[in-house]
Amino acid sequence: ARNGVLKKIIENKTTPEAIIEAIFIRVLARRPTPAELEMTLGLITDENQTSVYEDIFAALINSSEFLFNH
């Protein structure tokens, strides 16, 4: 199910910033902090974009913030 959600986010957003913001909103119901955005953007290259988005999505779902707020 999460791959379907992530696929829709990637298809509907045009920039890495927009994709990351949408992932945070979907998983944590908030936008990333400037530090979180900078850190996650630093992980992305042209060759690994999709796998990095998958890793970010999975990391957020497994975060204590997600576990205790959802």
pLDDT digits (tens, 9 = 90+) for 49-65: 989 999 999 999 999 88
Predicted TM-score (pTM) of this structure: 0.88
Number of domains present in the structure of the chain: 1
- 22-36 per-residue burial string, b: 16 or more CB within 10 A, e: under 16: bbbebbbeeebeeeb
The pLDDT of residue 2 is 60
CA 21, CA 5: separation in Å to the nearest integer? 14
pLDDT-derived band of residue 32, with 50, 70 and 90 as boundaries? Answer: very high
| Average predicted confidence (pLDDT) for the chain | 91
pLDDT at 1 over 70: no
Give the confidence band of 70 by pLDDT, cuts at 50, 70, 90.
Answer: low
State the residue range of the domain holding 57.
2-69
